[in-house]
Amino acid sequence: MSSSPWHILGIEPTQDQREIKKAYARLLKTMRPEDDPQGFQRLRDAFEHAQFLADHLPPPAAEPEAQHAEERGEYCQHCGKVHEPLENVPEDEKPVVETLRPWIYELSDLNREDQVEQAIRRLRQMLADPYLRDNEKHQQIFEDGMLYLACDDRQVKDPFVQVLIEQYHWTEADNWLAEREPQTADYLRVRMLEADALDKVEQLFLLIEEEGEDAAIAAFDLALESDTLFNVDVKALFEGELMVGLSEFEPLPPTFLHHIAARFGWQQDHRHLQAYQPLAWRTLEQALNRQNTPPIY
């Protein structure tokens, strides 16, 4: 009879991965892999099973579309973080923050409503506003707000972030950000690379439609060698999105599909594709297999 993983771990069923890890770690010290291989394997199987269950329990009900929290210091559903309470803002900055906050929210909301062009236009107007233009302190506080949008506000779209980066030069080596928050600068750099990678995927599909598969294959090979895809995360995104795009592309471009499957080694290793989007991979796998099946005599 096999016990449930929760029983072996000695905890109640939970979705809290941290709690699962804690229970495993505690028991592991009495069932070390080299001293008690059998006990360890049982524990390990229970651990992995519990982790899987925790990930696959039904997620909590989707939350309704959230608005900005009104109160300072209140958790904001819209931004997913607590708005800085004004008490923590130095006395002389309070009025500035109070003035600029609605500006920042406006840009966030325009992004959320997919009006990126309008958001960029408004940004330019704000930057030209004497309130910012003529006061260094105001400019600084506004830049902090923009950095918040670029890094912490998930509604904000890539083209908008691109404009912000061009405006403030955050990703350049001699910028204040590189020194004070190198990780933030790294994040922004990768975010822009990712935007570029997504753009490349889109270009490839356009090429297939307009110039045919051979042109797309040549462009793909070039993209693979590009600096953008040098970053491993960016390349993984490129691969995943290309797969999803292909699975929805009609009619399926067979030569192109085979070429990229070979270049990425999809036939040998596709667990990551399955994890990325199982349905898309299944579609492509069937297509690849159909074309690979040896003739039957």
Partner 1 sequence: MIIGIDLGTTNSLCAIWQQGQAVMIPNALGHHLTPSVVGLSDQDEILVGLAARERLLTHPQLTAAVFKRYMGSDRLMSLGTQKLRAEELSALVLKSLKADAERFLGQPVTEAVITVPAYFSDAQRKATKIAGQLAGLKVERLLNEPTAAALAYGLHQNEPESRFLVFDLGGGTFDISILELFEGVMEVRASAGDNFLGGEDFVEALIDGFVEAVGKPAGLSDKQADAYIYQALRKQAEQAKRALSGAEQASMTLEFQGQLLSWTVSDSDFAKLAEPLLKRLREPIERALRDARIRAHELNQIVLAGGATRKPLIKKLVAKMFGRLPAMHLNPDEVVAMGAAVQAGLKMRDAALDEVVMTDVCPYTLGVEISEQLAPGRYEAGFFLPIIERNSVVPVSREQTVSTIQDQQTAVLVRVYQGESRLTADNIFLGQLHVPVPPKPAGAVSVDIRFTYDVNGLLEAEMTVQDTGKKHQLLIEENPGVLTPEQVQERLRELQKLKIHPRELLVNAALMARADRMYQQTRGEDRLYIGQETARFQAALDTQDETIIKPIREELQRILDEIEGETWL
> Smallest distance, Å, CB 5 to partner 1?
15
**Contact residue for partner 1 among 58, 64, 90, 294 (CB under 8 A):** 294
Q: Specify the 3-state DSSP secondary structure of 51.
A: helix
Contact between 256 and 217 under an 8 Å Cβ cutoff? The reply is yes
Question: What string marks each residue from 221 to 260 as x (binds partner 1 by CB under 8 A) or -?
Answer: ------x--xxxx-xx------------------------
CA 193 to CA 198: how far, in whole Å?
A: 9
Residue 161 binds to partner 1 (criterion: CB under 8 A): no
Give the residue from 51, 65, 148, 134 showing the smallest Cα distance to 103.
148
Peptide bond before residue 159 is cis, with ω within 30 degrees of 0: no
Which listed residue (2, 41, 67, 291) binds partner 1 by CB under 8 A?
41
Q: How far apart are CA 241 and CA 277, in angstroms?
A: 9
Among 2, 87, 13, 74, residue whose Cα is nearest residue 41: 2
- Asked if 268 interacts with partner 1 (CB under 8 A), we say yes
Q: Which is nearer to partner 1, 163 or 192 (CB)?
A: 192
The answer to whether residue 290 forms part of the interface with partner 1 (CB under 8 A) is no
Give the 3-state secondary structure of residue 290: helix
DSSP per position, 75-122: EETTTTEEPPPGGGS-GGGHHHHHHHHHHHHHHHHHHHTT-HHHHHHH
136 lies in the binding site for partner 1 (CB under 8 A): no
Within 10-39, which residues bind partner 1 (CB under 8 A)?
A: 21-22, 24-26, 28-29, 32-34, 37
Nearer to partner 1, 155 or 231 (CB): 231
In the list 6, 40, 168, 249, the residue contacting partner 1 (rule: CB under 8 A) is: 40
* Residues near partner 1, by CB under 8 A: 21-22, 24-26, 28-29, 32-34, 37, 40-41, 44, 182-183, 186-187, 189-190, 193, 227, 230-233, 235-236, 267-269, 271-272, 275, 294, 296-297
